[in-house]
Amino acid sequence: MRASHAGADSTHTQRPRGASSTLGITAAAALAPIVWGTTYLVTSELLPPDRPMTASVLRAVPAGLLLLLIAPGIPGHGWRLKTAALGVLNIGLFFPMLFVAAYRLPGGAAAVVGSAQPLIIIAMSTAFGWGRTRPVQVGWALVAVVGVALTTMSSTVRLDAIGLAAAAIGTASMATGVVLTKRWGVPPNTNPLNSTAWQLLVGGMVILPLIPIVDDGPWAIDAEAVLGYAWLAVIGGAMAYALWFRGARTLPSANVSLLGILSPLTAAVLGWIVLGQNMTGLQCAGFGIALFASTAGQFVPRDSR
C-alpha cells in the first residue's frame, strides 16, 4: 500500500504548475512521435529486409543501456513488476508489432490503425474509472482518425491480414502502456530516465528469443544499416522514449495519445519529400485536418487525469 501511495504522490508532483510548463512538456513530448514517424522510411530504405525482431532489439537494448549509464540504479522491490509490465507493453510487444506492420503493410494502412490509439486510451481510462474525458476530446480523436485516413489513403493499398493484426495489437499494447504509465508514475526519489531505461531493456530481452523464430531475411550489415539502427536506437529510442514517458506521466493520457497522430503525418511528409510520393489535394486536406485535431485536443480544459 505504501508503494501505491508513493506512486500516486510521485505522479502528482510531476504535474505541470503553469501554462508555460505544460506547453514546454507538450512540445517536448510531441518530438517523440515526430521522430517515430521516420521509422517506416528508415525500415524500408536502410535496414536489411525481413528482420523485424532484430530491428526491435537493436532499437531497444542500446537505448536502454545508454539511458542506464545516464541514470543508473535498479527499481525498488515494489516497482520491479510494474516496470517489467510497462516494458512488455510499451516495448516488448509494441516494437515487434510495429516492425511486422512496417514490413507487411503500406505505411498508410498501419497509420490508420495506429491513429485509433487515442480512442482506446479514452475508453480504457473511462472503463476503469481512472479519469473522465470531455466529449469534445473524443470528437477531436475521431476527427484525427478521419484526417489520418485521408492523408494516407491510396488507390493501390495492399492489405495484409498479419500486418493489420500486428498493427492493431501494437496499438492496443501502447495504449495500455500509456494509461498505466500515467496511473503508476515513477518510484519516489528515482530519476524517470531510469524507469525508461529498464523498460527498454526488459522489452528488448523479451524480443530477443524471437529473432531466430521470426526473422528470415539476410543478415547484411552495411553502412546504411548501421546508420539506420543507430538512428532508431539513439534518437528513436533513448531520446524519443525519454520525452514521451515524461509527457505520459505528466499530461492527461488523452492529450498525449493525440500527439501520436504526428507520427503518421511525419511519415506522409517524408514519403512526399524524400521518396517523391505524390500527395493529392484530398490527402493534403486530411493532413491539415489531422494536424488541427491533434493540436486542438491539447487545449481542451482538463477534466480528467
Residue 156: per-residue pLDDT? 54
For the segment 188-224, what is each residue's pLDDT rounded down to a tens digit? 778 889 999 999 999 999 999 999 998 887 777 889 9
Predicted TM-score (pTM) of the model is: 0.81
* CB 118 within 8 Å of CB 257: yes
DSSP line for 127-163: HTTS----HHHHHHHHHHHHHHHHHH--TT----HHH
Helices 94-104, 192-207: axis angle to 10 degrees equals 60
Residue with cell 543501456: 65
Residue 305: per-residue pLDDT? 42
Q: Tell me what the mean pLDDT of segment 225-246 comes to.
A: 93
**Above 70 in pLDDT, residue 242?**
yes
The single-letter code of the amino acid at 300 is V
**Above 50 in pLDDT, residue 249?**
yes
The Cα 210–Cα 97 span in angstroms is 12
Q: What percent of the chain has pLDDT over 70?
A: 86
**Above 50 in pLDDT, residue 10?**
no
pLDDT band at 31 (very low <50, low <70, confident <90, very high): very high
Q: Tell me what the mean pLDDT of segment 48-75 comes to.
A: 91
* CB 173 within 8 Å of CB 237: no
* CB 44 within 8 Å of CB 269: no
Residue 169: per-residue pLDDT? 92
125 closest CA partner among 293, 252, 296: 252
